[in-house]
A and B are shown apart, each in its own frame.
Chain A
Amino acid sequence: DQQVKQNSPSLSVQEGRISILNCDYTNSMFDYFLWYKKYPAEGPTFLISISSIKDKNEDGRFTVFLNKSAKHLSLHIVPSQPGDSAVYFCAASASGSARQLTFGSGTQLTVLP
């Protein structure tokens, strides 16, 4: 039972255009969401997060949108750069003492020059 789903295993975008990565979740107890980026042979690195009390968080070229009613979040990258090519993981956690992260299966983003 996948509580966090990334239904697109891959996405290709032209350099300079917008990349939109999507993530859906089923557990209504999740109240904190994160995006990680992973290059081959490296561990995931934290990118951006959002709390359920917000519907948008922005950090430079990266913006995360949260739609709680639809249990959906998305990561927008504008403008996309070739160095953004990586696997992007969506993760979620619920408040409480056991705030473990539940990850999606990842989306491979390829930014074409």
Chain B
Amino acid sequence: KAGVTQTPRYLIKTRGQQVTLSCSPISGHRSVSWYQQTPGQGLQFLFEYFSETQRNKGNFPGRFSGRQFSNSRSEMNVSTLELGDSALYLCASSPRTGGGGYTFGSGTRLTVV
């Protein structure tokens, strides 16, 4: 079966712009979680969506938002980009809410200049 698909793979944006990242989960998976990975910080939890509802949110500013569609695909948006937002953004899908059975996508590498 197809894995978790994240698009685009690479992105370069200018400070102050906004960006939208996309994640298509494994077929049948209804939970999508987003993580930010920066050097030395590991993976920081952003938020989780299940059945189009945000179930949990990490400690990130309101500039980071997301949504999930009826087909379980999810998008993450970052507004007013800052240099520090440069990171690898990973999406993980699971058949159930709450962190179990995660399968990660390959990520979107965002560079803010």
Chain A contact residues, CB within 8 Å of chain B: 4, 6, 9, 36, 41-46, 89, 91, 93, 96-106
A95 CB to closest chain B CB (Å) equals 9
Secondary structure of the A contact surface, majority rule: loop
B80 within 8 A of A: no
Q: A90: nearest residue on chain B (CB-CB)?
A: B42
Q: Known contacts A43-B105, A44-B104, A103-B43; decide if A98 and B90 are in contact (CB<8 Å).
A: no
What is the bound-complex CA distance between A42 and B107, given in angstroms? 7
Which 3 A/B pairs are nearest by Cβ-Cβ distance?
A43-B104, A99-B98, A105-B42
B56 within 8 A of A: yes
A36 contacts across to B, CB distance below 8 A: 104
Interface string of B8-48 (1 = CB under 8 A from A): 00000000000000000000000001010000111111001
CB proximity to A under 8 Å, residues B80-113: 90, 92, 97-100, 102-107
Q: A97: nearest residue on chain B (CB-CB)?
A: B98
A51 CB to closest chain B CB (Å) equals 12
Q: By the criterion of a CB under 8 Å from any partner CB, how many residues of chain B are at the interface?
A: 25
Report whether A99 and B100 are in contact in the complex, using a CB–CB cutoff of 8 Å. yes
Q: A4: nearest residue on chain B (CB-CB)?
A: B42
B100 CB to closest chain A CB (Å) equals 6
B30 CB to closest chain A CB (Å) equals 15
Q: Apart from A41-B106, A100-B58, A105-B42, what are 11 other A-B pairs with CB-CB below 8 Å?
A: A36-B104, A43-B90, A43-B92, A43-B104, A43-B105, A43-B106, A45-B104, A91-B43, A96-B98, A103-B45, A105-B40
Report whether B42 and A98 are in contact in the complex, using a CB–CB cutoff of 8 Å. no
Instruction: Provide 24 A-B residue pairs closer than 8 Å at the C-beta atoms, listed in order of the A residue.
Output: A36-B104, A41-B106, A42-B106, A43-B90, A43-B92, A43-B105, A43-B106, A44-B90, A44-B104, A89-B42, A93-B99, A96-B98, A97-B97, A98-B55, A99-B97, A99-B98, A99-B99, A100-B33, A100-B45, A100-B99, A103-B42, A103-B43, A103-B45, A105-B41
